[in-house]
Amino acid sequence: MTGTTGRALRLTVFIGENDTWHHRPLYSEIVHRAHAAGLAGASVFRGIEGFGASSLVHTSRLLSLSEDLPVVVVIVDTEERVRAFLPELDALVTEGLVTLDACEAVRYPRDERPSGPSAPSDPPAAPGTKGERP
């Protein structure tokens, strides 16, 4: 069964791992404010290598280990809700990049599980157990 489909706006914030807001990681502040604003969800991804406006390459490779790896915060919700959240970012992000992309979202609510022949089933019993469960 396919979930609910609709138009959405994806907000992506590119910042550094060491960026802070009042001694707290900036990415954490963004996520908590998005949560307080009632947005559908936010995720933080830590990059393994990248560069930004400074042109300094930050990497997680052992020989050139960086202390300020790239971090991306992604938020997806309706266009109206994401745009209403932008003033929060204006107050938080002093250096970085914010992008907005129109997208189509497919939502699978937690209480809906697929059914039918393609639905996941219990794994087969281990050999010699005759399907008994502990």
Summarised one tens digit per residue, pLDDT across range 42-72 is 999 998 877 676 666 666 655 555 577 889 9
Question: How far, CA to CA in Å, does 69 sit from each of 6, 48, 72?
Answer: 34, 7, 10
Band of the pLDDT at 116, cuts 50, 70, 90? low
| Residue with the two structure tokens 């050999």 | 127
Q: Tell me, yes or no, if the pTM score tops 0.85.
A: no
For the cut 50, the answer to whether the pLDDT of residue 96 exceeds it is yes
Question: How far, CA to CA in Å, does 41 sit from each of 16, 58, 82, 115, 122?
Answer: 21, 28, 11, 26, 30
Q: What is the DSSP letter of 96?
A: S
Mean pLDDT of 109-127: 58
Mean pLDDT of 117-124: 54
pLDDT confidence of residue 132: 47
pLDDT confidence of residue 3: 74
pLDDT confidence of residue 134: 44
Tokens of residue 123, six digits: 């794994």
pLDDT confidence of residue 125: 53
pLDDT confidence of residue 133: 44
Give the mean pLDDT of the chain. 82
Q: Which of 1-15, 33-47, 105-119 has the lowest mean pLDDT?
A: 105-119
